[in-house]
């Protein structure tokens, strides 16, 4: 039972997804906008890290406050363990967003959208890898869920971050308002169950 860290190489950028996050609902993106996005991608990509800290715990859980524990265990009924994870693309993304938010907000907006797309892509990459590894052991993984969504209280974030030793392992910290720094970070829980043979 140890916190582990895994680094990923950059998953390919899904540009449609970035546009969706940026509030561009149109089908066609005009050239000047797509050029601006390409500029953002070129500037951001070399500065991003893709790190995940994770920890597998057997069920029933001995940690988490009773309320959160009940919600988690309900969500993973029938599972024999849960994988906790925290993922981040690093604080450089925050710096880039802040830099342009003061000088060129359109670029800041696209970088922010790119950051959202990147962190989701990282979570997807981690979960895909997890599914493959678990499959080898005859296990399968449920879809991930996060504090603040559904019934799991946002406050569960505190314990998740502490259990994963996230500040030390991947440089992910929580502030007093339960906001994560770096901003483009995700914490989540995945139920692991035995596949019916």
Partner 1 sequence: MNFKAFLKEHIFLLDGGMGTLLQARGLQPGELPERWSLTHPDVIVEIHRRYYDAGSHVVNTNTFGANSLKFDAAELENVISAAVANARRAAAESTGAQSKFVALDIGPTGRMLKPYGDLDFEAAVGIFAETVRLGVKYGVDLIFIETMNDSYETKAALLAAKENSTLPVLVSNAYGADGKLMTGATPEAMVAMLEGLGADAVGVNCSLGPKALRPVVEEYLRVASVPVFFKPNAGLPRVIEGKTVYDVAPTEFAGEVAALLGCGVRGAGGCCGTTPDYIAALAAAARGLQPQPIDHKQRTVISSYTHAVVFDREPILIGERINPTGKKRFKEALRAGDMDYILQEGIAEQERGVQVLDVNVGLPEIDEPAMLTAAVTELQAVLDLPLQLDTSDPVAMERALRIYNGKPMLNSVNGKRESMETVFPLAKKYGGVVVALTLDESGIPASAEARVEIARRILREAEHYGIAKKDLIFDPLALTVSADSTAAKETLRAVRMIREELGCHTSLGVSNVSFGLPARDAVNSTYFAMALTAGLSAAIMNPHSAEMMKTYHAYRALAGLDENCADFIAFSETLPATQTTTAVPVTPKTVSENASRLQEAVVKGLRERAAALTAELLKTEPPLSLVEQELIPALNAVGVGFEEKRVFLPQLLMSAEAAKAAFEVIKGAVQGSASPRGKTVIIATVKGDIHDIGKNIVKLLLENYGFAVVDLGKDVAPEAVAREAVRLHAPLVGLSALMTTTVPAMAETIALLRKEAPWCRVMVGGAVLTQEYADSIGADRYARDAMEAVRCAEELLR
Site string for partner 1, 127-166 (x = CB under 8 A): ---------------------x-----x----x--xx---
**Is 102 a residue that touches partner 1 (CB under 8 A)?**
yes
Which of 28, 103, 196, 197 forms a contact with partner 1 (CB under 8 A)? 103
Choose which of 41, 70, 139, 183 interacts with partner 1 (CB under 8 A): 183
Cβ of residue 107: shortest distance to partner 1, in angstroms?
8
User: Binding of partner 1 at residue 59 (CB under 8 A)?
Assistant: no
Q: What is the C-alpha separation between 11 and 49, in angstroms, rounded?
A: 11
* Residues near partner 1 (CB under 8 A): 1-2, 4, 7, 22-26, 30, 32-33, 36, 49, 55-57, 62-63, 90-92, 94-95, 97-99, 101-106, 108-110, 112, 148, 154, 159, 162-163, 167-168, 170-171, 173-179, 181-183
């Amino acid at each position: 039972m140890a916190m582990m860290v895994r680094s990923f190489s950059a998953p390919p950028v899904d540009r449609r997804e970035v546009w969706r996050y940026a509030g561009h609902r149109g089908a066609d993106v005009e050239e000047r906008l797509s050029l601006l996005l390409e500029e953002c991608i070129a500037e951001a990509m070399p500065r991003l890290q893709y790190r995940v800290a994770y920890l597998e715990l057997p069920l029933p859980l001995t940690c988490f406050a009773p309320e959160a524990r009940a919600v988690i265990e309900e969500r993973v009924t029938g599972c024999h363990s849960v994988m906790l994870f925290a993922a981040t693309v690093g604080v450089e993304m925050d710096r880039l967003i802040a830099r342009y938010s003061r000088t060129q907000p359109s670029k800041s907006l696209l970088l922010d959208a790119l950051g959202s797309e990147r962190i989701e892509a990282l979570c997807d990459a981690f979960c895909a890898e997890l599914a493959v590894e678990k499959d080898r052991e005859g296990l399968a993984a449920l879809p991930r869920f996060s504090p603040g969504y559904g019934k799991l209280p946002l406050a569960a974030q505190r314990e998740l971050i502490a259990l994963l030793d996230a500040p030390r392992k991947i440089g992910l910290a929580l502030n007093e308002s339960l906001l994560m720094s770096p901003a483009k970070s995700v914490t989540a829980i995945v139920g692991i169950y035995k596949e019916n043979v």
